[in-house]
Structure 1
Amino acid sequence: MHYQTVFFQTPYEGKPIHSSDLLNTIHHCAISCNHMTTMLYKKQDLFGRGEQLSNLQDCAEICGLMVNYLALSSKFSKVFSSVCASVCEVCGSTCMQFPDQASQQCGQTCLICAKACQQLTA
């Protein structure tokens, strides 16, 4: 899903805080983490991946919330973006510890999302 190119105004500053690229990046991260969670349930070594599974679920949830806050032009978007960046960074780092291609790809997606959210907090 791609969002139409728009700029939202924060109600408290009046400056554009994001574009469709940011929404797409965060949304893609949420979807990737949800997909990876589903894939992990099918793996035989699921019990060795408890931390990864927990981080994936947290990341998917925070990214889903972040997309909603941005779409609403919430005044809390910048505050939430800091939390989102932290969760994505932890999730991405955890995923990168596993050698399978799906974990590597998800980890890269999370780390890209973390950088995008960090830029929003600036």
Structure 2
Amino acid sequence: MHRDLAHLVTTIQDCEMVCEDMTTYVMRRSDFRSRIRQLELLRDCADICALTAKFIARDSHFARDIAKLCADICMACSRECAKFPDQQSQYCSEVCYNCAQECRRFAMERRDRFYSQD
């Protein structure tokens, strides 16, 4: 796997893990009922990140399509997390934003940019 591609997969997997951790954090908060939208997006983001990493790692024909969707969901999650002032939400917002940017870049790149031989 090309090193840029390996970096992308790691970025996506990190985002998945942060969103999973954040879901647990929010569920344990006393105000979790006011964060339902955040919880929904955190779960969506974690799930699409897991799927996207797999599609990219196995060189799926649909990897770029899934990466575009992943970018959209990560961006929505980033925006929702940014609404909350706690440090964990702000960090999650940043991680999701970075993942969205990387996925969007991958989705728009030529296929041979990442899959050519080193």
The normalised TM-score by structure 2 is 0.89
Q: Does residue 1:85 correspond to 2:71, yes or no?
A: yes
For 2:71, the aligned partner's letter is A
Distance 1:116 1:19 in 2: 10
Which stretches of structure 1, 4 residues or longer, exceed 4 Å deviation after superposition? none
How many aligned residue pairs are there?
A: 108
Q: Gapped runs of 5+ residues in structure 2?
A: 109-118
Give the match for residue 107 of structure 1: 93
* Cross-structure match for 2:26: 40
Q: Choose the corresponding residue for 1:51, options 26, 37, 55.
A: 37
Unaligned runs of 5+ in 1: 1-5, 9-17
Identity of aligned residues (%): 35
| Residue 115 (structure 2) aligns with | none
**CA–CA separation in structure 1 for the residues paired with 2:9 and 2:68:** 15
Corresponding letter in the other structure for 1:72:
R
Give the structure with the higher percent helix.
2
Over aligned residues, Cα RMSD in angstroms?
Answer: 1.1
Taking the aligned partners of 2:48 and 2:79, their CA distance within structure 1 comes to: 16
